[in-house]
């Protein structure tokens, strides 16, 4: 089983903790000196960086929020002069003002090494041909996987996701791609498209896929693996921290190993900010300890997962986060229940031909909530088949999470979004 960087990935945890502290203190001094936002924060809360002598003491420092980063756009959170920044990328800005992220040459080197670790954990080597089907843009996903694969000396096909599914499949076939990097929903759409085009997956050379950038379930993993005949690995990253490379699965699929020699991870109660016990879900919080251009201290991601520091059979000692189940801002409260759209998706995908493109509409008043779920199927079904699928799915929803909902299935393309793009719309029309 390949480990890219045995020195760090198998480091004893006491040594790892010491390394984190050694890297944390210079970073705190640097942001206090060079970033006005953190200088004000430390002064207001009387925080002296040199007194943060262990990871637990880090909790004295307040959180950094996405809103803090948006207010700093474009350069106010940079900790180095602009002349030292060799790459600038951004978040999408779909939910507000985008966030500008800078990288020094060292940042890019570290980033590529961390993604290379994730690829190696999926048994990717220099013999592989890696097809990167994330969109090449200001978004970090495509560039992260691209440079990580190049670090491994693998062949890279920057196919992006701007073309048609047919063209993506042609590239796979013609260039004999062995590794696919894209979103889980896009991978499933590729599987459906292959079926429609009569392309049998065994005629391709795909061996594994590294999938991320959206929450997904074990049910979706099983569908992707069955349709594409490849092993599917979960990866985790976010642009504010670096992009892909924050964490990734090994072959044991027992959680995603966090690259803790570059990051300190916490899981906190979203409401109180208090630390959550191991195994309990909460909000992921990260502190970067090697980033030069855009370091962050206790950044609240909004992503919900749990943390496990127990040994992994692969030999890596880094703590593992669970699969991200949703976001703190998309939890739904209805019919006396709390659930995430990802839990709805998990049930929907049990139906043959259902895609991860769906909407949830809430109506009525609290205590009498009506829930309607509209989901897209990948191929045309008869009215009888649609009705049977709707009834079966509604029963599964009630049996699995206790939710009573009307389920309506729609023909392909009903959501009017680009091919392969995940659509999850939640509309709350209740009287509060």
* % of the chain at pLDDT higher than 70: 96
pLDDT computed for residue 378 by the predictor: 79
Residue 419 tokens read as 């091919």
Q: Indicate the pLDDT class of residue 73, thresholds 50, 70 and 90.
A: very high
pLDDT computed for residue 55 by the predictor: 85
Average confidence (pLDDT) over 316-330: 93
Confidence check: pLDDT of 235 > 90? yes
Q: Indicate the pLDDT class of residue 302, thresholds 50, 70 and 90.
A: very high
| DSSP H helical ranges for 1-54 | 6-9, 13-34, 36-44
Residue 287 tokens read as 């502190």
Nearest to 106 by CA among 318, 247, 288: 288
The CA distances from residue 346 to 264, 349, 361, 401, in Å, are 30, 6, 17, 11
Average confidence (pLDDT) over 1-25: 95
Confidence check: pLDDT of 149 > 80? yes
Confidence check: pLDDT of 422 > 90? no
Highest mean pLDDT among 261-275, 321-335, 377-391: 261-275
pLDDT computed for residue 236 by the predictor: 97
pLDDT digits (tens, 9 = 90+) for 181-234: 999 989 998 999 999 999 999 999 999 999 999 888 899 999 999 999 999 999
Q: Indicate the pLDDT class of residue 418, thresholds 50, 70 and 90.
A: low
Tell me how far the alpha carbon of residue 399 is from its chain's centroid: 28
Average confidence (pLDDT) over 55-83: 95
Confidence check: pLDDT of 366 > 90? no
Query: Between vectors from CA 294 to CA 290 and to CA 299, what angle results, nearest 5°?
Result: 85
Are the C-beta atoms of 247 and 257 separated by less than 8 Å? yes
* % of the chain at pLDDT higher than 90: 77
pLDDT computed for residue 310 by the predictor: 95
Are the C-beta atoms of 187 and 172 separated by less than 8 Å? no
Average confidence (pLDDT) over 140-147: 96
Q: Please state, in angstroms and rounded to a whole number, the distance separating the CA atoms of residues 373 and 351.
A: 14
Average confidence (pLDDT) over 255-260: 98
Confidence check: pLDDT of 77 > 60? yes
Q: Please state, in angstroms and rounded to a whole number, the distance separating the CA atoms of residues 1 and 3.
A: 7
Confidence check: pLDDT of 268 > 90? yes
Q: In terms of pTM, does the model score above 0.75?
A: yes
Confidence check: pLDDT of 276 > 70? yes
Are the C-beta atoms of 245 and 103 separated by less than 8 Å? no
pLDDT computed for residue 419 by the predictor: 55
Confidence check: pLDDT of 338 > 90? no
Q: Which domains does the chain have, with CATH numbers?
A: 1-328 (3.40.50.12780), 332-428 (3.30.300.30)
Q: Please, which residues have CB within 8 angstroms of residue 295's CB and are 6 or more apart in sequence?
A: 27, 30, 31, 35, 79, 288, 289
Confidence check: pLDDT of 420 > 70? no
């Amino acid at each position: 089983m390949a480990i890219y960087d045995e020195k760090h990935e198998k480091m004893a945890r006491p040594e790892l903790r010491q390394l984190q502290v050694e890297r944390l203190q210079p970073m705190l001094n640097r942001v206090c000196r060079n970033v006005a936002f953190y200088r004000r924060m430390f002064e207001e809360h009387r925080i002296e960086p040199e007194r943060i002598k262990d990871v637990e003491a880090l909790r004295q420092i307040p959180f950094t929020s996405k809103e803090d980063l948006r207010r700093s756009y474009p350069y106010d959170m940079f900790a180095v002069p602009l002349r030292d920044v060799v790459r600038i990328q951004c978040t999408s800005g779909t939910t507000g003002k985008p966030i500008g992220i800078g990288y020094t040459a060292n940042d890019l080197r570290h980033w590529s090494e961390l993604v290379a670790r994730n690829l190696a954990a999926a048994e990717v080597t220099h013999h592989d041909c890696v097809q990167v089907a994330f969109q090449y843009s200001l978004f970090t996903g495509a560039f992260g996987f691209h440079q990580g694969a190049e670090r491994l000396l693998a062949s890279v096909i920057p196919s992006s996701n701007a073309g048609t599914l047919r063209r993506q499949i042609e590239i796979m076939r013609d260039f004999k791609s062995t590794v696919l990097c894209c979103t889980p929903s896009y991978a499933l759409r590729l599987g459906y498209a292959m079926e429609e085009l009569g392309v049998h997956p065994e005629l391709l050379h795909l061996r594994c896929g590294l999938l991320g950038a959206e929450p997904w379930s074990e049910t979706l993993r099983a569908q992707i693996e069955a349709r594409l005949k490849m092993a599917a690995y979960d990866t985790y990253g976010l642009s504010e921290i670096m992009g892909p490379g924050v964490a990734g699965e090994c072959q044991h699929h027992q959680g995603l190993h966090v690259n803790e020699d570059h990051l300190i991870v916490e899981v906190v109660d979203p409401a109180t900010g208090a630390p959550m016990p191991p195994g309990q879900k909460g909000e992921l919080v990260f502190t970067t300890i090697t980033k030069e251009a855009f370091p962050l201290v206790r950044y609240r991601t909004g992503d919900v997962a749990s943390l496990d520091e127990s040994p992994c059979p692969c030999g890596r000692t880094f703590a593992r986060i669970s699969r991200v189940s949703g976001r703190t801002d998309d939890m739904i409260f209805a019919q006396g229940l709390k659930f995430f759209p990802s839990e709805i998706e998990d049930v929907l995908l049990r139906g043959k031909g259902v895609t991860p493109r769906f909407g949830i509409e809430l109506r009525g008043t609290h205590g009498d909530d009506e829930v309607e779920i509209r989901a897209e199927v990948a191929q045309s079904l008869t009215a009888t088949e649609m009705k049977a699928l709707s009834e079966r799915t509604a029963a599964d929803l009630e049996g699995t999470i206790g939710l009573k909902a009307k389920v309506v299935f729609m023909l392909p393309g009903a959501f009017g979004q680009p091919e392969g793009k995940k659509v999850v719309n939640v509309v709350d029309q209740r009287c509060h």
